[in-house]
Structures are given as structure tokens and as C-alpha cells.
Chains A and B, each alone.
Chain A
Amino acid sequence: MQKLELPKMITEDKLKDLYKEMWMIRYFDEKVDQFFAKGMIHGTTHLCVGQEASAAGSIAVIGRKDKIVSTHRGHGHCISKEGDVNKMMAELFGRETGYCKGKGGSMHIADVEKGNLGANGIVGGGLPLAVGAALTSKMKKENYVVLCFFGDGASNEGSFHESVNLAAIWDLPVVFICENNQYGMSGPVKDMTRIENIADRAGAYGIPGKVVDGNDMIEIINTVNEAVENARDGAGPTLIEMKTYRWKGHSKSDAKKYRTREEEQEWRAKDGIKRFKETLINAEIFTEEEAKQLQDEAYQAIEEAVKFAENSPEPSMDSLLEDVYA
């Protein structure tokens, strides 16, 4: 048996929940992919299939009062921050019962009460918001931490540099998490920056930078936990880069001409869910059968979300003008 070194709050039950959560993320986005292909969902969407570990592992170490700031590829973050898959699916169907009453769609799902400050349609748009949320925590002495997710592409926007700098000089409790899935749309990270690691940029702002295997749940949990503890203790921000891969195209219409099938296969072999399952079996946290059962439960939850969405009403036409001002 292999013993796992993990923070205290990551109990055996929590590990099982996390495994199921990863499957929920995967099944949710696989389902959405199918619906898009059939023309059943409007607009566009960005799927995080293959990137389940960075969402689930990072958010596992924070609590209810802590906050996250998500991205256009935000379904996984939302599910991990106790998101309700019924409301998420209903939102994608444009229904009144959806997270945004059918007005926001995939790119704008938020759950402010649960500390999810929202997906964002603007690349790099979330980073300054995370700084602001962390500022509130500090000024009001609320002692919560903000996890700020963004992509490798976003790290080339001015907003990344300005935000990290601001958070650094003010010692704000924010953890910047770069989900480096190797591409910003079609732009390979190696062509868009001249450094080896996005995390190397931390040095320019005087904060710690860490690189982790973005498909390794255990490494993610431990690294994010340390950064969160430091942030809570007033030591300021950390920049963590998680090397991972998105299995699907950038959005629904993507011929993926910018990468090879071999590369895709290579990364699929590093599947974070499969690896986490092996880890948990080796550590005797669960058996193959229990793992299967958790996976089935995840599948069921998504099937139910689809039913919920399909049976939900469309928003009324009167709602068009509502909610512009508070």
C-alpha cells in the first residue's frame, strides 16, 4: 500500500468525492459537446475535458468562504466550487432556472453566494477582479483567499501583469493559477512566450512561482494548499502553473489544424482521472468496484441535470429588461 501525503482536510471521503467530481466535470462537458454537435445548444462553449484535475484539486483545499475567479473554460471550476449541475445545464439551454436566468450562457456562469465570482468571456478579464476580491478580504479582515484561474494565453495580456504586480505589492491573499493547456486557441504557448514556464514570470513581481504537473491531483492539492496557507497568513500571492492539455478543440468550431493527433494521444495517456483512480486504488482508499460506482453516480447526476434543463421553462419576454441596474 502506498501512503499519501496530503493536507489534513483532505480526508479519505473527500478523496472519493473528488474522484466523483472529476467524472462529473468530464461527463458534463462531454454531454455539452454532444448537444452542441446536435445544434441543441445556442452560442459557443469551451470545454475543459482533460483539465479536470486543476479545477478539482485546486478548489479542494479551499473552504466555503473562499472565492474563485474563473474563465471562459469554467464549467469544471463551477462544479468544483459546489456548483449545481442542474442550474449549469439549464443555463446552457438558456432556461429561466439556469444560473443566469438564461441571460449569460456558458461564458458567464457565476455563483456569487458560493464564492464563484464568475466565468468570463474576456481573456484576462478575471485577474483584476481577483485582486479586488482579495483586497476586500484584507480590508474587511474576512480572511478568505481567492483562487484566480486563467490560461497560458491570458498571461500575455496586460491585465495579467498589472494584476500580479498589484496583488504582490499589497500582499493580497490571492493564488494565481495558470492552467497551461499548451494553447491559446491555436497559438502554441512555445510560440507566444520565450520563457520555458509561465510561472517564471513570478520572479518579475517578487512572488513565488511554482510549476506542477496539471494532471497530478496529489501534487496539485499540496502545492495549492501551501500557497493558500501562505496567502491566509499574510504572505501574499503565489503564481502556480499547471501543465495540462485540453482534449477538445478550443470551441465548437475548431478543426485543430494547429496540432497533431499524436500529440493528442500522448496527452490523453496522461489523463488526470485515470491517474487519480490508480493512486487511490494503490493507497487502498477505494476498490475498483467502488470507483466504478462513483463514476456511475457522476453519470447519473449529469443525466438528471439534462432532464432538469429540458423540463425547465424559457425566460419570460418581460425579463429582457430586468437586472440591468440593481
Chain B
Amino acid sequence: MAVREITYLEAVREAMSQEMRQNDDVFILGEDIGVYGGAFGVTRGMIEEFGPERVRNTPISEAAIAGAAVGSALTGMRPILELQFSDFITIAMDQMVNQAAKTRYMFGGKGKVPMVLRTPAGSGTGAAAQHSQSLEAWMAHIPGLKVVQPSTAYDVKGLLKAAIDDDNPVIFYEHKLLYKTSSHVPEEAYSIELGKADIKREGTDVTIVATAIMVHKALEAASELEKEGISAEVIDPRTIVPLDKETIINSVKKTGRLIVVHEAVQRGGIGGEIVSVIAESEAFDYLDSPIKRLGGKEVPIPYNPKLEKAAIPQVPDIIEAVKETVKYK
């Protein structure tokens, strides 16, 4: 039987639709998610199936709709909020950081906030500095929020189901440039546990931990490196909160080398956290070379396509970093 392939974008829609058919408490809200189908077309057709009560078009009011999601979650619904671009989370920041993340703890464990904030992140579309950011490290810093960054259609479907089923606020980052990529995705609903990394490629010489679109760049780099006899293992944490430390530690113990690659600005990024995990673990003793971080340059994302590309790590940068790392014997 032929395996079914669907796109990353369709996987988001399918996961939401399946959950909404299963559970009346699940509903979606956001700007232009109705007839328009959302800024990227993710919710296209959903209002026809579920109606305007459960596919709720909102005014342009990020703070209010995020807060409304928190309030409805606290009182028994399971809202999925779509923000048109992840950059606009800054407007919803009070509700996500001061309200959603802390409510349960502040209330002494009474009440819960089962909501998902889905939003497209990343650069590469020429949308420039206010529509191209990767702010996940910011969110990861906040206790009480979970942060997911899927890289494939298969992962999207399973992780989104897990996020919707989770009783905590989850930020679900979708990468704009991955929406059209496809992979094998089963038709039936399935769940991928939050906090389980995926070894996207096995290798023995170096571990590359990469997130979101960088997973694909790391895999491309690994194929190139293979031709030169260098075997790279590529690990996709899939969720950065919770972070699967064990898989990363075990891989570094095996390969003795680590490179972390993410699109977000390197300074203060999640790469520093992953490096610390190794520095604080027994894997430190296994290191044969200094660890390398590859992240976005310390600039806002520029508009010009060449500059835009140069602002974030590319395949040749990863290849070069690996080669420098494996020089140490």
C-alpha cells in the first residue's frame, strides 16, 4: 500500500480537525482564520466544517484573544489560538508570561490552563524584521510554558495532538518555510510525547543538535559530509521545553563532539542551554573537541534576500563547523 504523504501545513490542520471532532471543548480562535483560512492557509475549510462558534474569527487584538484563551482554558475549554506571525506574541506577552504560565502555580496547583498557542516563526520569506523572528528561547525561559518546534509533517501531527491533550499552556512554533514540505503521515490520530527528541540520522563522529528548519539543513550537511567520510548524527529535540537531555547526552557520549544549530539569534539562544546540559553532564568527559554553537547573527532579520540568508546559519556553515570540530583528534 502506498504511504500517504501530506504537507506540514495539512498536518497541522488534520491534527486540529481530528481533535475537534473528538472533543467539543477544543476550539480555535484567531485573526482571519475563518473564510480567509488564516494568513498561511492552515485553517482553510475548517469554518465550513466546524462553524463560526468553534472557528472563531477575532479582531486584531492579540492581548485580548490570548487572555481569552487563558480564561476559557481555566474554566473548562481547550482553546487553540493562532497568532498570524510569532512576532506578535510580544503583544500577548502579559497574558502568556504573567497569566498563562503562572496561574496554576500561583493558585497552589488549583486549576489548569490547557491551551495551545500556534504560530508561524522564522525567516526566509522577505517579511523583514518584524515578521521573521525566532523568539522561542524567550518563551523557554518562562517556567510554566511548554515550547514545541516541529520539523516534519509527521512530527507536527503527533506533537500537536500531544499539545492539545496537554493540560498546560503550550507554544507551538510552526516554521513558515516548512509549511509546504511533506512526509509520510498516518491518517489515524497519534501522539508524540512532548520531551522526546528524535534521532533524525544516526552517526558516529559528531552530534548535530538542530531545531526546526535547521534540522533539514543539518541533514543536508550530514549527507555532504558523508561523502568525505564524516559520519554525523542529527538530533531534533522537537520540544525545547521539556528538553530531552538524555538523548543528547547519550549521543555526545557516543560521538565525542557536539554542534548546536538554530535559526534564532545565537546570543541568549537555546543553543547555550543545550551546551550547558553537556557541560554539566558526564558527557563532558567524552568530548574530543570544543563545542560549537551556530545561531542567527546578532541582527534583526534584514529584507534583502541575500542579507536575509546570511543572517542565519546555512548548510555550508554547518559543514565548515563540523570539519573544524572533527580536526581535533
- State the CA gap A191–B61 with chains docked (Å): 14
Among A202-210, A236-244, A261-269, A314-322, the stretch that binds chain B is A314-322
Q: Per DSSP, are chain A's interface residues mostly helix, strand or loop, or mixed?
A: loop
Please give, as numbers and ranges, the residues of chain B lying within 8 Å of A158 by CB-CB distance: 61, 63-64, 91
- State the CA gap A187–B30 with chains docked (Å): 11
Are the CB atoms of A184 and B126 closer together than 8 Å?
Answer: no
The smallest beta-carbon distance between A97 and chain B, in angstroms, is 12
B31 interface hit (Cβ, 8 Å): yes
Please give, as numbers and ranges, the residues of chain A lying within 8 Å of B88 by CB-CB distance: 122
Are the CB atoms of A321 and B299 closer together than 8 Å?
Answer: yes
B189 interface hit (Cβ, 8 Å): no
Smallest CB gap from A103: residue in B: B302
Among A17-25, A104-112, A167-175, A226-234, the stretch that binds chain B is A104-112
The smallest beta-carbon distance between B97 and chain A, in angstroms, is 16
The smallest beta-carbon distance between A158 and chain B, in angstroms, is 5
Please give, as numbers and ranges, the residues of chain B lying within 8 Å of A102 by CB-CB distance: 302-304, 307
Across the interface, A42 reaches (CB within 8 A) one of B31, B36, B298, B303, namely B303
The smallest beta-carbon distance between B54 and chain A, in angstroms, is 17
Smallest CB gap from A188: residue in B: B57
Please give, as numbers and ranges, the residues of chain A lying within 8 Å of B299 by CB-CB distance: 320-321, 324
A50 interface hit (Cβ, 8 Å): no
B127 interface hit (Cβ, 8 Å): yes
B59 interface hit (Cβ, 8 Å): yes
Q: What 0/1 pattern do residues 110 to 130 of B give for CB contact below 8 A with A?
A: 000000000000000111111
CB contacts under 8 Å to A, within B5-24, are none
Across the interface, A104 reaches (CB within 8 A) one of B64, B125, B303, B310, namely B303
Across the interface, B297 reaches (CB within 8 A) one of A156, A191, A321, namely A321
Across the interface, A153 reaches (CB within 8 A) one of B60, B63, B303, namely B60
Across the interface, B126 reaches (CB within 8 A) one of A105, A124, A187, namely A105
Quick one: given A105-B128, A157-B91, A258-B36, are A320 and B310 in contact (CB under 8 Å)?
Answer: yes
Smallest CB gap from A102: residue in B: B304
Quick one: given A122-B88, A191-B57, A321-B299, are A185 and B125 in contact (CB under 8 Å)?
Answer: no
Q: What 0/1 pattern do residues 80 to 101 of A give for CB contact below 8 A with B?
A: 0000000000010011000010
Please give, as numbers and ranges, the residues of chain A lying within 8 Å of B186 by CB-CB distance: none
The smallest beta-carbon distance between B9 and chain A, in angstroms, is 13
A121 interface hit (Cβ, 8 Å): yes
- State the CA gap A105–B129 with chains docked (Å): 9
Are the CB atoms of B59 and A153 closer together than 8 Å?
Answer: yes
Are the CB atoms of B128 and A43 closer together than 8 Å?
Answer: yes
Across the interface, B59 reaches (CB within 8 A) one of A44, A95, A193, A258, namely A193
Quick one: given A43-B126, A44-B126, A314-B306, are A187 and B60 in contact (CB under 8 Å)?
Answer: yes
- State the CA gap A122–B305 with chains docked (Å): 21
Please give, as numbers and ranges, the residues of chain B lying within 8 Å of A283 by CB-CB distance: none
The smallest beta-carbon distance between A303 and chain B, in angstroms, is 23
- State the CA gap A192–B59 with chains docked (Å): 5
Are the CB atoms of B129 and A104 closer together than 8 Å?
Answer: yes
- State the CA gap A91–B32 with chains docked (Å): 29
Please give, as numbers and ranges, the residues of chain B lying within 8 Å of A108 by CB-CB distance: 128-130, 303
B131 interface hit (Cβ, 8 Å): yes
Q: What 0/1 pattern do residues 50 to 71 of B give for CB contact below 8 A with A?
A: 0000000101111110000000
- State the CA gap A95–B304 with chains docked (Å): 7
Quick one: given A185-B31, A192-B59, are A100 and B303 in contact (CB under 8 Å)?
Answer: yes
Seed contacts A153-B59, A321-B297; 19 additional CB < 8 Å A-B pairs: A42-B126, A42-B303, A103-B128, A103-B302, A121-B87, A121-B131, A125-B130, A154-B60, A156-B59, A156-B60, A156-B61, A157-B91, A185-B60, A186-B57, A187-B32, A187-B59, A315-B304, A320-B297, A321-B299
Which of B's residues lie within 8 Å of A, judged by CB? 31-32, 34-36, 39, 57, 59-64, 87-88, 91, 125-131, 297-300, 302-307, 310-311
Provide 8 A-B residue pairs closer than 8 Å at the C-beta atoms, listed in order of the A residue. A108-B303, A123-B60, A158-B61, A184-B60, A185-B32, A187-B31, A315-B307, A324-B299
